[in-house]
Amino acid sequence: MILNEVEAGIVAYVFGRNKDFDREEILIDTNYMTGKREALRSLIPNEMIDGEVMSLVACMLSFQQQETRCWFLPPVFAQFVLSWTRSPDRVREILKDTFFGKVDGLRKIFVPINDGKLHWFLLVVDIIRKELTLLDSLKSPSTFNERKRIVRLLAIFMDQMLEDKSFYHQHSVTEKPKVSEFAIVEPKSIGQQAPGSF
């Protein structure tokens, strides 16, 4: 990729090593979230991607959707569920304006999940196929059962959350999805990263 002079200046400003740069400076500001220089620096090669960056991407993808056929959830969704700190009703209230739409016509839900260490994986809830697709670039037999347990917890939480009538149009005939009954699928063709890499 070849950058022009303006683009190179922007990259230097965001990622430069100048000690005078404020690491807490807000470089991205939307109505719903902000992105600080410190978080954006996680995009430098060999760095662990910050959850704030993942949330900004989810927000951007949500706003680019003309119709709400896909939901792109921020990492905090899985954190709320797995830490048991918020009820389904509270999570719905916190995230509804930015990340949720109506279930009518919904096809997929994308949920980034951090394993609590240094690794991200993605859950794709396919409403049409009734599948929970686990995309993991660092698969191992020792982590698969734990990942499956996490996916099941998220699915049960989604069932409870999607019971709320605010997710459906007034005269909707859409069947409420039973996400916890979906099959867990793990594609075999996902590229794998080297153990210990980010």
Integer-rounded Cα Rg, in Å, for the chain is: 19
Does position 66 have pLDDT exceeding 60, yes or no? Answer: no
- Nearest Cα neighbor of 109 from 51, 149, 69 is 69
pLDDT tens figures, 89-131 = 888 888 887 788 888 888 999 999 988 777 888 999 999 999 9
Q: How far apart are CA 52 and CA 119, in angstroms?
A: 15
Q: Kindly report the pTM of this predicted structure.
A: 0.76
* Residue 183 clears pLDDT 90, i.e. is over it: yes
Residue 198 has pLDDT above 70, yes or no: no
Strands 120-126 and 131-135: antiparallel
Per-residue pLDDT tens over the stretch 80-98: 888 888 888 888 888 887 7
Q: Are 111 and 128 in contact (CB under 8 A)?
A: no
Q: Where are the domains of the chain?
A: 23-168+179-185
According to CATH, what is the number of the domain 23-168+179-185? 3.40.395.10
pLDDT confidence tier of residue 24, bands split at 50, 70 and 90: confident
